[in-house]
Chain A
Amino acid sequence: MRNRFRPSVIVSVAIVTVLVLTGTVTTGQSPTYKAPRTTDGKPNLNGVWQALNEAYWDIETHPAAPGSVTALGAAGAIPPGPGLVEGGLLPYQPAAAEQKKKNFENRLTLDPEIKCYLPGVPRANYMPYPFQIIQTPKYIMMVYTFARAVRTIYMDDHKEAPADSWMGWSNGRWEGETLVVDTTGFNGQAWFDRAGNFHSDALHVVERFTATSPDHLLYEATIEDKNVFTRPWKISMPIYRRLERNAQIMDFRCVEFAEDLIYGHLRKPSGK
């Protein structure tokens, strides 16, 4: 697998990773790179993309920790990660901090990922699988590998969410080099990661996608939830273009992998 990456990409991935670790990639930085344009003159974000970090385990800065499935041993351990959150930790209200702790303790039964539920936003963006941006003037589609989740970003005809959903209702606009996506209308059932970091249906996410090279996006998001946090907080990370010639979103239809977990206790006992 590794030999499919060009050496230059490995190098640039390494450099950016170092930059992130040392905190040199700052949010709000004015980009000097100007992306190629689509036919309607907007930065061209089309492509197959993927984040490369440990935030899918825990978006907060975290040390390595044991996993919860003995049989998986080291392969199931929680890898350490610098996290995505500006300042390292989430500003939970006291009751919410308690809830987060409970979520973590009971993550095997509560984490929606385990049940193949739609990942929500921003979680979908840093799961360890590729997603594809299909960009048109009126609609920008983001198709994620996990659970075949889809986001439709409405670039004009902005409306309020007609109803609550897992992936939310996204209105988008261009600010120079940056795609800004404003998402509300969440059902409050998604999590941020496998560590039980969570939000309510009052979640409001404003994401900024800015190309910083032909093969990198800077992803920044401001997250607000008055029911759970004491103040808005920010995350940022680079997102990398999948450069393999056969990069694509393959079918990860995970429902059938979670059915025995969800419905297994309702199976008719055999021998009756």
Chain B
Amino acid sequence: MSMKRAVVFAGVGVLLAAAPLLAHHAFSAEFDVNKPMKLQGTLVKWEMINPHSWFHIDVKGPDGQMIRWLVEGGSPNQLIRLGVTKSTLSSGMELLIEGYLARDGTNKGVGRNFTLADGRRLFLGGSAPGGGAESGPVAK
């Protein structure tokens, strides 16, 4: 690496420190880092609302009865620009969600990773540059 590039890269760290990927609010105040969660269930509906979207998931409890969970995801607005609509996800689809539980102790969490039943990651395919076969469902 040339001296010049080294200087540039030294700058990048600073740039990101100066302009971090700031969320709308402090997620760690809403969700507990000490309570990781892993949910497997079926999608009841995806609320494409702001500032963050919410996935309603039915998860089978230990006694076989269904328990409704609410899982936070991202603002839908950029996905809408990329062609995602309310009909992109259908209710009844299987989702595996890893994330963290809400601090208020109710059946809520933030979805750190959304994965489809066949192992593909949710959404990224159609929207990420160069993405593709390994992700779905795709936009457009």
B-binding residues in A (CB < 8 A)? 160-164, 187
Contacts and interface: CB of A to CB of B under 8 A. Distances in A.
B86 interface: yes
Interface string B41-79: 000000011000000000000000000000000001000
Interface residues of B, number: 7
Given A160-B85, A163-B48, A163-B86, 12 more contacts: A161-B86, A162-B48, A162-B80, A162-B84, A162-B85, A162-B86, A163-B76, A163-B80, A163-B85, A164-B48, A164-B86, A187-B49
A160 B86 CA distance: 10
A34 B24 CA distance: 48
Contacts, number: 15
A160 B88 CA distance: 13
Which of A161, A163, A164, A187 has the most chain B CB atoms closer than 10 A to its own CB? A163
B108 to A, nearest CB: 15
A162 B83 CA distance: 8
9 contacts: A162-B48, A162-B84, A162-B86, A163-B48, A163-B76, A163-B85, A163-B86, A164-B48, A187-B49
Contacts of A163: 48, 76, 80, 85-86
What 10 A-B pairs have minimum CB-CB distances, sorted nearest first?
Answer: A163-B48, A162-B85, A162-B80, A163-B86, A163-B76, A163-B80, A163-B85, A164-B86, A162-B86, A164-B48
B52 to A, nearest CB: 14
Nearest to B85: A162
Interface in B1-57: 48-49
Contacts of A161: 86
Interface of B: 48-49, 76, 80, 84-86
B50 to A, nearest CB: 9
A163 B85 CA distance: 6
A164 B80 CA distance: 12
B1 to A, nearest CB: 45
Contacts of B76: 163
A164 to B, nearest CB: 7
Contacts of A162: 48, 80, 84-86
A61 B28 CA distance: 51
Nearest to B104: A266
A187 B80 CA distance: 16
A259 B76 CA distance: 25
A162 B80 CA distance: 7
B100 to A, nearest CB: 21
A66 B84 CA distance: 48
Nearest to B48: A163
A187 B86 CA distance: 12
Contacts of A187: 49
Nearest to A164: B86
A160 B49 CA distance: 17
A251 to B, nearest CB: 21
Chain B CB within 10 A, most for which of A162, A164, A187: A162
A49 B86 CA distance: 34
Contacts of B48: 162-164
B127 to A, nearest CB: 14
Contacts of B49: 187
A170 to B, nearest CB: 16
Contacts of B80: 162-163
A187 B54 CA distance: 14
Contacts of B84: 162
A49 B80 CA distance: 32
Nearest to B83: A162
B123 to A, nearest CB: 14
Nearest to A166: B49
A162 B49 CA distance: 12
